[in-house]
Amino acid sequence: MNLGSKIAWDDTVLPFQLDASDIRGRVARLDGALGGILKQHSYPDQVEALVAEMALLTALIGQTVKLRWKLSLQVQSKGAVRMIATDYYAPGVEGEPARIRAYASYDADRLTDGAPFDQIGEGYFAILIDQGEGTTPYQGITPLTGGSLRACAESYFAQSEQLPTRFSLSFGRSSAPGIEEHWRAGGIMLQHMPKASPFVAQGEGSGDLLGADDLVDGDEAENWGRVNLLLDTVEDLELIGPSLPPTDLLVRLFHEERPRVFDAQPVRFGCTCSEERVRQSMSIYSARDIAHMTTEDGRVTADCQFCGAHYDLDPATLGFEATDSAQDD
């Protein structure tokens, strides 16, 4: 295989179902999409790893949202990494790629030599789903816990959705002779869909926060435990998968569970910023507010945190007291 060329299963999310155990899941592989996200900024290593993990989680979770919906994941914390934000835009038409973007806000002088998750302090992990105009976005949050963003996502599904969920992720820089070092990421998401355990209703989970094991009992618990033991055998290189198709990985891990795959969803890096959106966001400001935003050169500038696009605008065309039209820019 020519590793310098695009691999067929890169930047895709493959949904599947394990018919023998009533569990569904997704396999994600990110390469160019992740590179598109990370090359917009020169993040320190720990921040880059957090953004990569968050983007991979977003791709795995986002595959379930309907056409034209938007899924957002956010981390807000008091630590050195103050915020991580990701957006997943479902395709407008079946068969088109979904788009994903992400960025982080951090205090460089507060970063330590510790693990990536150590750079995040007290705060929360949130999932938001926007169904479009005329609807109220859904939001669910859970505390930052468990030592990884993966664990936070698992806790979110247990707490907010009462869905037993498991992620196995791998991400990092990949290199090969003659190929520039670049980021690759891969992961598997498992999710059981049982009715809530009677222990949940009585508040008798295994700790202050519910876990997946608190949500299943009987045959469902046996199925869930068996499939998780199989997932525990996966290796990091298998998840990243430059030489192992997702379908082969599923057969290797779960052949006795009768895996059944569905159409893969392609994913691309993409941003929705535009001059029109910048103008719209500034339409709530008065001329006095706009004056405070104006530079010594007599311009109002804005930069997109996601893609780095730079907008240079005439202040007379901004705000609800604009005196000139945008065409005068």
- Token pair, residue 141, equals 């949050």
Amino acid letter, 250: L
Beta-sheet strands, E only, within 68-145: 70-77, 81-89, 98-106, 123-130, 138-143
Q: Which two tokens stand for residue 327?
A: 């065409």
Q: What angle do CA 6, 12, 15 make, to 5 degrees?
A: 150
User: Has this prediction a pTM greater than 0.85?
Assistant: no
Domains of the chain: 12-269 (3.55.30.10), 275-328 (3.90.1280)
Local confidence pLDDT in tens for the 329 residues of the chain: 333 445 778 999 999 999 998 899 999 999 999 999 998 888 999 999 999 999 999 999 999 888 889 999 999 999 999 999 999 999 988 889 999 999 999 999 999 999 999 999 999 999 999 988 788 888 899 999 899 999 999 999 988 888 899 999 999 887 666 667 788 999 999 998 755 433 333 333 334 555 666 566 577 888 999 999 999 999 999 998 778 899 999 999 999 999 999 999 999 998 777 778 778 777 878 888 788 888 888 888 777 777 777 777 788 887 776 787 776 55
User: Do the beta carbons of residue 120 and residue 66 sit within 8 Å?
Assistant: no
